Amino acid sequence: MTDAKPKPFIAGNWKMNGLKASAGELVQVMAGYAPALRAKVDLAICPPATQLIPFALAALGSRVAIGAQDCHAKASGAHTGDLSAEMIADTGASHVIVGHSERRTDHAETDAIVRAKAEAAWRAGLVAILCIGETEAERRGGTTLSVVDTQLEGSVPDGASAANLVIAYEPVWAIGTGLVPSNEDIAEVHAHIRQRLVARFGAEGEGMRILYGGSVKPSNAGEILRIENVDGALVGGASLKAADFLGIAAAYA
């Protein structure tokens, strides 16, 4: 391992929230993303699909990246209601979340499906933010690390690099619940993920950003983001308000 650490990255996943009026929150994020903060942390917002184009246009020149929350594995075709990675890139977005636990659960997405979506993201020139994490039952059963191993092996395609992949570790039981693993638990899992990435991808694995997600908010961000191998956060509810989102990023100020 080298001493060089990846530049931190805070991404906001708005999920199924946000109408046209919500653009004001993006404007406030851009206004608060001062040069001193830009030098220390990268920011991205992933709004609902209906807002991708206006958000991407509004964010031009701001260095706030815009991402989508999902993509289809195919570039085009008879897939009613889906968006291809190429369509997402065409909006001006640069990132896409794949494999979020809500997609895995609500839409029965397997590791193979997530892998195909990550490959689609790369095909379109997008950065894939690939989510992994255990359920409460798996945590209680002591299988967290084996679950993470299985998801990493099955979901992350060959050819991953620090430039095209971000890993987001989100314990399913901590998403939106207010529950947060102990610092020791977070450190253990992130160190394990780093070790696996380095074992598979060598130096590229050292540079890949590993985000923590699950009830991150301004009041706990400083503590969480100081943990070794935590290179930022994938933020849900707290990303809907500019003040909260910037409050999390301010942990790096």
231, 211 contact by CB (below 8 A): yes
pLDDT at 2: 46
Residue type, 65: A
Q: Can you count the helices (H) and strands (E) in the chain?
A: 12, 8
The owner of tokens 């085009």 is 76
User: Which are the catalytic amino acids?
Assistant: 100, 170
Residue type, 13: N
pLDDT digit string, tens, across residues 30-50: 999 999 999 999 999 999 999
- Is the model's pLDDT at 150 over the cut of 70? yes
DSSP 216: -
pLDDT at 4: 72
Q: What is the pTM of this model?
A: 0.96
Options 3.30.360.10, 3.40.630.10, 3.20.20.70, 3.40.50.720; which CATH number does 9-241 get?
A: 3.20.20.70
d(CA 48, CA 65): 14
Element (H, E) at 198: helix 183-201
Between helices 242-249 and 218-225, what is the axis angle to 10°? Answer: 20
pLDDT over 90 percentage in the chain: 94
50, 83 contact by CB (below 8 A): no
Q: Residue length, the chain?
A: 253
pLDDT digit string, tens, across residues 116-131: 999 999 999 999 999 9
